[in-house]
Amino acid sequence: MSGNESRIQAIYQITNREPMPKKAPKRLEEMWATDVFTLSKMQECLPKTVFKSIKKTIQTGEPLDITVADAIALAMKDWAISKGALYYAHVFYPLTNATAEKHDGFISVQSDGSAISEFAGKLLVQGEPDGSSFPNGGIRSTFEARGYTAWDVTSPAYIMETDNGSTLCIPTVFVSWTGEALDKKTPLLRSNAAMNKAATRVLKILGEKDIAPVNSSCGAEQEYFLVDANFANARPDLLLAGRTLFGKPSAKGQQFDDHYFGAIPERVQVFMQDVEERLYRLGIPAKTRHNEVAPGQFEIAPYHEAANVATDHQQMIMTMLRFTAKKHGFVCLLHEKPFAGINGSGKHVNWSVGNATQGNLLDPGDTPHSNAQFLVFCGAIIRGVHTYGPLLRSVVATASNDHRLGANEAPPAIISMYLGSQLEDVFEQIRQGELKSSTGKGLMNIGVDTLPVLPTDPGDRNRTSPFAFTGNRFEFRAVGSGQSVAGPLVAMNTILADSLTWIADKLEAELAKGVGLPAAISTVLKEVMELHGAVIFNGNGYSEEWHKLAVERGLANLRTTADALPVLKESYIEELFSKLGVLSPVELASRFETYAEQYILSIEVEAKLVVSMVKTMIYPAVTRYLADLANTALSLKEIGVDYDKEPIDKITALSKSMMAGVSKLSEALTKHDFASIEDHMQFISQTMRSLMDGIRADVDALEGEVADDLWPLPTYQEMLFIK
Ligand SMILES: NC(=O)CC[C@H](N)C(=O)O
């Protein structure tokens, strides 16, 4: 195929594709959690004492009584076989953001050569997948390659069905043989335990007697793009890097806001329903779906769940989106910025903490200032976000998210906190030591008599803030669409644990002076505001003024991953994680190493793609067109027509500049002698990225000059608008 033939073929295929057969929607109750080994299924098939024991472990987090493991394994195996599974997999979450699984058969070969299906308790509880090739940041060397998986009882087992059969999936942690966490789940469980301990201590000081375990919760809004597979397959950059490295903006983009919340294209809706059906069967509470801001962009958001379960479910949502998209002839792009010039994709993480006895601890109640508990927890978060803002920036630092943060569509890289006017007012009064009134849950008259008067939400929305209070939870908006939510949740739980401990110490010191609880709370919260109030910002986070003001307030602006990741090496961060038992210094160092390496590798892949795509696709198209123009010019000259060769000059100049850029980039790719990994990241971030941007500018300008029938890559217009 030459020129734009692959594009024409793709358009032909899309236009003539058979629509996916529509399925009659099933009732939710019929589908709900049918593929999950739920508590109620365990109750049905386990002996009473065994069920009681496992239920206690799930609900209180107490260690599993290992003597019941055989009975549970047997019941789980029988259930899985009844669902068509012959294999089971310990599923775990390495530091790559992906989900890993190693399948083992339910098989035991007997001495007489026959085989029976078997699944012993010890196989359920522990596995040894090896997995020595996963990034581990120096924790494991290959000669000590043992890595163990251990069953996370708090996240239910489930059946993953593909066209080729079903597998029983068991969520697990993944640790080295020396016990170090090699995954994202272990620190999440530890951070939750640390937060529970600190929260329980504070609740006791506040006078609570009956305190159930405090758990964090998460509801993550997943944005994504869908591109027809015929186009995606013709773009090496989409296939290997998940984003377009070139592409002239289409004349129509998102300027009319006509895609946002518009009618969902029929083909996309059929896809969404297919995803949702699978999610419901897996007990994942998908709740919202809609068109997002950019053409071709969509969102799915589930209800909030316990953070650990929500994190596993989030991984399953990403898997289902990719997998189901393929069946529907789409490619689902989870990259944070697949297309330049239009919105990218985030994964806004709604986070809260609460328990069965005190409820949601971030719910202000009827009048916020009457709710001391809420104010104390909110105060702890203000201190946490201010003290550890750079950490929150570093846990969303990836090569791909750098394109999105600060691009006036997603929060800036400066970590500040939005409280809404009512709460800001309350905390301002606290700072001044005179908390008297709160504007209360006011009523909002919307000026249409036939509609009821609506109560205002004390937390209005602010899309420009990275960390926004939204009425009864915080929304961490800086998280990227392709990321695991585990890292951000670990950071939030850990900084809250640290701040609650700080507050508990202060409150106890005040109470020891003989002052009453309300006075002690006021004093401590006043101190929080004096020391940390600078992090609160309710204005426009995109504005120039905020960038200046943030500097005056001493808030960090870590623009790139190369700037943000080294935060993980700072001693105050090391101390935070080790004193709360979330990550040892070795584990933390391994995360820095791994993420730094991933940053370097992903930009190097892109740089290699830029070089090869320019040399083998763009440059040939440009020279063919130049040859056409030159021949035309010569022919016209022969017959005496005065030919304006300005287009030839322009294209030649752009092509020269493009190829000069490619030479420099190829040269940059050979450089490996860096004093440190930090230096290497800075080189990638500054030199390599700007060379790539320069080449892109030339290529995109050429796309506007070269004849369309010679252009080899599907265009933005085609990919975003043809479905
Ligand atoms: N409407 C929205 O919330 C847009 C969010 C934006 N896509 C982001 O990257 O965060």
Pick the atom of ligand 1 nearest to 481's CA: 9
403 pLDDT band (50/70/90 cuts)?
very high
Three-class SS of 216-269: EEEEEEEEEEEEEHHHHCCCHHHHHHCCCCCCCCCCCCCCCCCCCCCCCCHHHH
| Closest residue to atom 1 of ligand 1, CA basis | 293
Q: Quick one: how far is CA 233 from the chain centroid?
A: 25
Q: How many Cα atoms sit within 13 Å of 524 on the Cβ side?
A: 31
**One-letter amino acid for residue 104 of the chain:** D
| Whole-number Å distance between alpha carbons of 372 and 105 | 54
User: What long-range pairs does 23-26 form, CB within 8 A, spacing at least 24?
Assistant: 23/273, 23/274, 23/277, 25/273, 25/277, 26/277
Give whole-number Cα distances, 678 to 399, 568, 684, in Å. 14, 12, 10
pLDDT at res. 364: 82
Q: 41-84, pLDDT tens digit by residue?
A: 999 999 999 999 999 888 877 788 888 999 999 999 999 999 99
By three-state DSSP, how is residue 707 classified? Answer: coil
Which residues are paired to 126 by β-bridges?
150
| Whole-number Å distance between alpha carbons of 695 and 610 | 8
**One-letter amino acid for residue 582 of the chain:** V
Give residue 711 CA to ligand 1 midpoint distance, Å.
32
Whether 344 lines ligand 1, by a CB cut-off of 6 Å, is: yes
Residue 156 has pLDDT above 50, yes or no: yes
Residues 6+ apart with CB under 8 A from 655: 619, 622, 623, 626, 698, 702
Can you list the positions of beta strands (E) in 56-210? 85-92, 100-105, 107-109, 115-117, 126-127, 147-151, 158-162, 165-176
Give residue 410 CA to ligand 1 midpoint distance, Å.
6
Pick the atom of ligand 1 nearest to 409's CA: 6
| Whole-number Å distance between alpha carbons of 181 and 586 | 10
| Whole-number Å distance between alpha carbons of 301 and 321 | 12
Whether 410 lines ligand 1, by a CB cut-off of 6 Å, is: yes
442 pLDDT band (50/70/90 cuts)?
low
Least Cα distance to 73 among 43, 46, 40, 112 occurs for 46
| Whole-number Å distance between alpha carbons of 699 and 593 | 34
Q: 80-108, pLDDT tens digit by residue?
A: 999 999 999 999 999 987 898 889 999 98
Residue 359 has pLDDT above 70, yes or no: yes
Give residue 338 CA to ligand 1 midpoint distance, Å.
14
pLDDT averaged over every residue in the chain:
91
| Whole-number Å distance between alpha carbons of 69 and 94 | 25
**What is the percent of the chain where pLDDT is above 90?**
75
Q: 216-235, pLDDT tens digit by residue?
A: 999 999 999 999 999 999 99
Give residue 394 CA to ligand 1 midpoint distance, Å.
20
Substitution site in 336, 343, 402, 477 for ligand 1 pocket (most atoms within 8 Å of beta carbon): 343
Whether 186 lines ligand 1, by a CB cut-off of 6 Å, is: no
Least Cα distance to 475 among 461, 454, 486 occurs for 461
Pick the atom of ligand 1 nearest to 345's CA: 9
Least Cα distance to 157 among 68, 221, 91 occurs for 91
Pick the atom of ligand 1 nearest to 292's CA: 1
pLDDT at res. 98: 83
Substitution site in 290, 463, 542 for ligand 1 pocket (most atoms within 8 Å of beta carbon): 463
Residues 280-294: what's their mean pLDDT? 93
Pick the atom of ligand 1 nearest to 294's CA: 7
pLDDT at res. 353: 98
Give residue 676 CA to ligand 1 midpoint distance, Å.
35
The DSSP secondary-structure symbol of 139 reads S
Give residue 250 CA to ligand 1 midpoint distance, Å.
20
323 pLDDT band (50/70/90 cuts)?
very high
**One-letter amino acid for residue 519 of the chain:** A
Residue 285 has pLDDT above 50, yes or no: yes
Give residue 555 CA to ligand 1 midpoint distance, Å.
23
Q: How many Cα atoms sit within 13 Å of 422 on the Cβ side?
A: 22
| Whole-number Å distance between alpha carbons of 499 and 505 | 10
Residues 326-346: what's their mean pLDDT? 96
State the complex-level ipTM. 0.96
pLDDT at res. 256: 75
Give residue 346 CA to ligand 1 midpoint distance, Å.
6
Residue 259 has pLDDT above 80, yes or no: no
Rg of the Cα trace of the chain? 28
Angle between helices 185-205 and 372-387 (to 10 degrees): 140
pLDDT at res. 444: 47
| Closest residue to atom 3 of ligand 1, CA basis | 463
415 pLDDT band (50/70/90 cuts)?
very high
Residue 143 has pLDDT above 60, yes or no: no
pLDDT at res. 145: 56
| Burial degree of 150 (CB within 10 A; 0-12, 13-18, 19+) | middle
pLDDT at res. 73: 94
Whether 409 lines ligand 1, by a CB cut-off of 6 Å, is: yes
Residues 147-157: what's their mean pLDDT? 90
Give residue 591 CA to ligand 1 midpoint distance, Å.
27
Whether 345 lines ligand 1, by a CB cut-off of 6 Å, is: yes
By three-state DSSP, how is residue 646 classified? Answer: helix
Give whole-number Cα distances, 330 to 19, 20, 315, 324, 334, in Å. 12, 12, 19, 8, 13
Residues 474-497: what's their mean pLDDT? 97
Substitution site in 257, 290, 292, 339 for ligand 1 pocket (most atoms within 8 Å of beta carbon): 292
Any idea which of 72-76, 224-228, 440-444, 616-620 has the lowest mean pLDDT? 440-444
Give residue 205 CA to ligand 1 midpoint distance, Å.
40
Please say whether the beta carbons of 576 and 613 come within 8 A.
no
Angle between helices 585-613 and 571-579 (to 10 degrees): 120
Pick the atom of ligand 1 nearest to 260's CA: 1
Helix (H) or strand (E) holding 690: helix 689-703
The Cα angle at residue 80 between residues 75 and 86, in degrees rounded to 5: 120
| Whole-number Å distance between alpha carbons of 639 and 487 | 70
Pick the atom of ligand 1 nearest to 404's CA: 9
Q: What are phi and psi of 344, to 5 degrees?
A: -95, -170
Pick the atom of ligand 1 nearest to 221's CA: 3
Pick the atom of ligand 1 nearest to 463's CA: 3
Pick the atom of ligand 1 nearest to 343's CA: 7
**One-letter amino acid for residue 676 of the chain:** S
Whether 293 lines ligand 1, by a CB cut-off of 6 Å, is: yes
Rounded (10°) CA dihedral 483, 487, 493, 497: -160
pLDDT at res. 446: 43
Residues 437-449: what's their mean pLDDT? 51
Which string of DSSP letters, residue by residue, matches 446-503? -S-TTSPPEEPPSS---TT-SEEE-SSSEEETT-BTTS-SHHHHHHHHHHHHHHHHHH
Residues 291-319: what's their mean pLDDT? 95
Token pair recorded at residue 389: 């803002």
